[in-house]
Structure 1
Amino acid sequence: MNPAAATPPIETEALIIGAGPAALFLAFQLGLQEIACQLVDVLPAPGGQCHALYPDKPIYDLPGLPVCSGRELTERLLQQLRPFNPPLHLGQLVSGLQRRPDGRWHLRSIDSGDSGQEWIAPLVFIAAGVGAFLPRKESVAGLERFERGPAPQVCYHGLPAAYTAEAMAKRHIIVHGGDAAAVELALELAPPLGADAPGRITLLHRSPRFQIEPALQAALEQALAMGRLQLVLGQPVGFDTVANDPAALQALQLATPGDGHATLPCDWLLPRLGLSPKLGPLADWGLALERKHLPVDSATMATAEPGLFAVGDINHYPGKRKLIVCAFHEATLAAFAAAALLRPGQRQLLQYTTTSPRLQQLLGVAGASAAAG
């Protein structure tokens, strides 16, 4: 059991680890099989790698979509999944997976606040891509102490627990990073022009060049020109704490261009340094991994453990191709196999959403075919 869990375990028929494209389409396919599922992902938003790493870059190899961004693909998958409305548990890292005496799986997660959730499910689907996408951490030794506690001052996901518009106006907030996530967050937090803001929003980056789209670059330049936020060039190398309170962060020590040095007041540090895929706790679950991948039966996507499936980049089988379209196929096979495992005495019929009244009713489009005719 997880002593930090704030609520009792959630019982569900299926739990999907991951919320990327493969996981979202898998949840849809499970819905068509009338299997109740929930999804859990370490990222703060659904979409996985597509949404987190290249939300605006074009994807050209999706069936029926000549071009589609990672953001648009995520939105379309969520729209498709809406009839089933499975719970999404975001910002949660699944830290444990164990078999219960009754054959079901017991899972537990942790979040950034050291709390978490537990689940009990007969079916578990690992759709974690190449692993959990975890934020790249600051390289300053000792800074991690400010990530913990009831009022953390260093937050890699979301905003500090104590964040309010009123509190923000009185704090020095540093957003550290050079990609779209950092710039968008800094612009979101920047006070409106003319606002009485004794605090300051600072965008910290090692160079004046940002890896962002032209429209976002223009918005940043406008905000800087208006004084809504400031840009500081440098790299954190140390920190200062409040006098007589070593648990409270007060300032960052920076190495600046030209071998310079600066001190930057800091009440809240919000690093947005990108994401790095790591196998994470999955490596410690005692599963039969082969080169950091889970071998599966290519007909069912089942692992060697009964009730445990893997789809997407995390799995491997002869002929495997790491493509989104292949992951969608794997999700479909896994859902059919799960239904057979969950209801062994029930005959499985192959039905089509174009003609099946049952599937159309599940999707909330019952009678659509007749109306179209």
Structure 2
Amino acid sequence: MTQHIATDVAIVGAGPVGLFAVFELGMLKLSSVLIDALPEVGGQCTALYPEKPIYDIPAHPAIEAGALITQLEEQIQPFAAPRLLGRQVNGLSGKAGAFTLTTDRGDVIHAKAVLVAAGAGAFGPNRPPLDGLEAYEASGAVQYYVRRREDLRGKRVVIAGGGDSAVDWALALKDIASVSIVHRRARFRAAPESAAQLDEAASSGAIEMVIPYQLHRLAGADGVLSAVEVATLEGEVKSIPADVLLPFFGLSMDLGPIAAWGLQSEKHHVTVDPATCRTSLPGVFAIGDVATYPGKLKLILQGFSEAAMAAHAIFPVVHPDQALHFEYSTSKGVPG
């Protein structure tokens, strides 16, 4: 149903950072609305890896991505921010203090400030260039996201990639599946502790390390995978028995209509002032993975910090004649 909403801040993106922005804005008594192209909140945490453990959220030694979203939803419940889900923002007009946003569903949002928390934008996996890939994707023999860890129990799983996703899933699946991890070099681009755990698991035989190899060919028929063939740069080929291939080569990023707003950008990321998260367009702010500045770390943790800084920088845009007196949440509590 088409909606017309007037609010203080329009948040474009309902991933973990966008959700936490509702809290930080609410603590300053600023109203907000969440807009996201996905049909549910949570961004990549919900859509791609709800059961993936996250280890760098303060006070949570480990928390699954889906559980993190559940906790964030509970935290922002007092602020009752409307949600426009399954919608893409396709228009922005006006100026700071008086923006109008429109969506592809015909919604109209009047906001005094805009906060872009679009994560990776319109994201999709970087697919390996393998013949016959589509048939294996259709059957589920090739998967780019793991929504239910239990679906892979007892399977022969080949993981390809050298980043955090590849290493984290190898560790998460080693106790329920036969796991082989393929990478073109011995060094992994993962958190040091995770890389150390991977080495330990490989030494104990819990994970097979297939190094230095790259994906070469898929063996099977009618979408049923029987083996993954890998090759060295010298052309040496090896066959790994497999039921499922998980290629983790990152996400392709597309800002979509946001790219037409005229924001200063760098390599598909929006450039912001690190002290305020202001973009080059007055009244528009950006936080989370979509934002970039010197020293930026793509961590949910840092996105949470940016949400707090942006909220305080947004306050004078919404209330230009009011002074903001900073108070700790322990002193003032959560507004009722």
Whole-Å separation in 1 of the counterparts to 2:149 and 2:123: 27
Deviation, 1:216, is: 3.6
Deviations for 1:184-216, whole angstroms, at most 9, x for unmatched residues? xxxxxxxxxxxxxxxxxxxx5164999565634
1:41 is the counterpart of 2:17:
no
From 106, 126, 138, the equivalent of 2:100 is 106
What is aligned with 1:122?
112
From 277, 287, 297, the equivalent of 1:321 is 297
1:284 is the counterpart of 2:263:
no
Rate the CA distance shift 1:177–1:71 in 2: closer, same or farther, 3 A: farther
Matches within 5 A, 1:303-322: 303-322=279-298
How many residues align? The count is: 239
Structure 1 runs (4+) deviating above 3 angstroms are 6-9, 133-136, 206-218, 257-260, 274-277
Structure 1: state its 5+ residue gaps: 1-5, 137-175, 179-203, 219-256, 261-273, 365-373
What is aligned with 2:203?
none
Deviations for 1:304-338, whole angstroms, at most 9, x for unmatched residues? 21110000111112211111111111000000111
Rate the CA distance shift 1:208–1:91 in 2: closer, same or farther, 3 A: closer
- Provide the TM-score with structure 1 as the length reference: 0.57
Deviation, 1:89, is: 1.0
Rate the CA distance shift 1:13–1:310 in 2: closer, same or farther, 3 A: same
Structure label with greater radius of gyration: 1
AA of the residue aligned to 2:99:
W
Matches within 5 A, 1:1-373: 7=2, 9-99=4-94, 104-110=98-104, 115-133=105-123, 205=139, 207=141, 213=148, 215-216=150-151, 258=221, 277-356=253-332, 359-360=333-334, 362=335, 364=336
Deviation, 1:134, is: 6.3
Aligned alpha-carbon RMSD (Å): 3.2
Whole-Å separation in 1 of the counterparts to 2:142 and 2:124: 26
- Percentage of identical aligned residues: 41
AA of the residue aligned to 1:97:
L
Contact between 1:104 and 1:123, CA under 8 Å: does it hold in 2?
Answer: yes
Contact between 2:278 and 2:286, CA under 8 Å: does it hold in 1?
Answer: yes
Whole-Å separation in 2 of the counterparts to 1:177 and 1:13: 47
Rate the CA distance shift 1:66–1:342 in 2: closer, same or farther, 3 A: same
Rate the CA distance shift 1:38–1:215 in 2: closer, same or farther, 3 A: same
Secondary structure of 2:79's match?
Answer: coil
Contact between 1:14 and 1:122, CA under 8 Å: does it hold in 2?
Answer: yes
Contact between 2:264 and 2:271, CA under 8 Å: does it hold in 1?
Answer: yes
Whole-Å separation in 2 of the counterparts to 1:287 and 1:208: 37
Rate the CA distance shift 1:353–1:207 in 2: closer, same or farther, 3 A: closer
Q: Decide which moves more: 62-71 or 291-300.
A: 291-300
Contact between 1:299 and 1:333, CA under 8 Å: does it hold in 2?
Answer: yes
